[in-house]
Structure 1
């Protein structure tokens, strides 16, 4: 038997950078691969609270415009022998959003969709970025997907 584990959430940040919509990717210190924000849900948190905390810790971005991404990242984690299921959130940042990365990352980059997919280490990331681009950039998300903060 392979258990299903859902202990992590992730988030995609979008910003208009010099007039063009871009996705934030960061290069992980551990593993050296490019990724978006993610983190473990603490015992006293709801998933949406976790992603707000993780954005602050990893990027110093204050989340104000939060959406349920209507997407679950999923993959087999061989070290734990589990199927990992990770709810995705999407945030809209102010134009030319500044980023200050923490020790978990060595660098960051605001990417076009194609750049993000080229940097993505895993096939699931590429599919996720296409999903986010379609439902949050090319189209306006439903207000039913908005997460009311506070």
Structure 2
């Protein structure tokens, strides 16, 4: 009998954008066209891109945010995609935006909201997303991020 394995996909990255909105720190959530659920920025690594380059590109494509301050969140988002039998392992980045960051969505999303932690966790459908937001909030909002996690994007 041959043992089957579940493939692991590591070709996707994600990023949580943070901005001080009207004096309060908030994170950006967007409602996807495909699936109709709330999420943060994510996308595939293309060509010879590094993970950090992919999230910088994806942020701009999905939101028109020009990333100037990027951090490795030191968190791996992971889930099993049952319909295609693949384990997704996704490095998470944090984009620190200037106050009142404007957003222009592309065709992948129908709407966006800048939200606090509790609202973000109430909006999203997946437990892994809630874990990402708890981690990001703890290490980037409640505490100053470590300079060791800053990504040099120049």
TM range, smaller chain: over 0.9
Structure 2 residue 105 is the aligned partner of structure 1 residue 129: no
Q: How far apart are residue 79 of structure 1 and its match?
A: 2.4
| 2:52 corresponds to | 48
| Structure 1 CA distance for aligned equivalents of residues 21 and 84 of structure 2 | 39
| 1:12 corresponds to | 16
| Structure 1 CA distance for aligned equivalents of residues 21 and 146 of structure 2 | 24
What is the RMSD of the two structures over their aligned residues, measured on CA atoms?
0.6
| 1:149 corresponds to | 153
Q: How far apart are residue 43 of structure 1 and its match?
A: 1.6
Structure 2 residue 103 is the aligned partner of structure 1 residue 102: no
Gaps of 5+ in 2: none
Q: How far apart are residue 11 of structure 1 and its match?
A: 0.1
Runs of 4+ deviating beyond 3 Å: none
Show CA shifts across 1:27-85 (max 9, x none).
Answer: 00001000000000002200000000000000000000000010000010112211100
Gaps of 5+ in 1: none
| 1:115 corresponds to | 119
| 2:43 corresponds to | 39
State the TM-score, normalized to the length of structure 1: 0.98
| Structure 1 CA distance for aligned equivalents of residues 57 and 92 of structure 2 | 14
| 2:79 corresponds to | 75
User: What secondary structure is seen at the aligned counterpart in 2 of 1:130?
Assistant: helix
Larger Rg: 2
State the TM-score, normalized to the length of structure 2: 0.96
Q: How far apart are residue 3 of structure 1 and its match?
A: 1.6
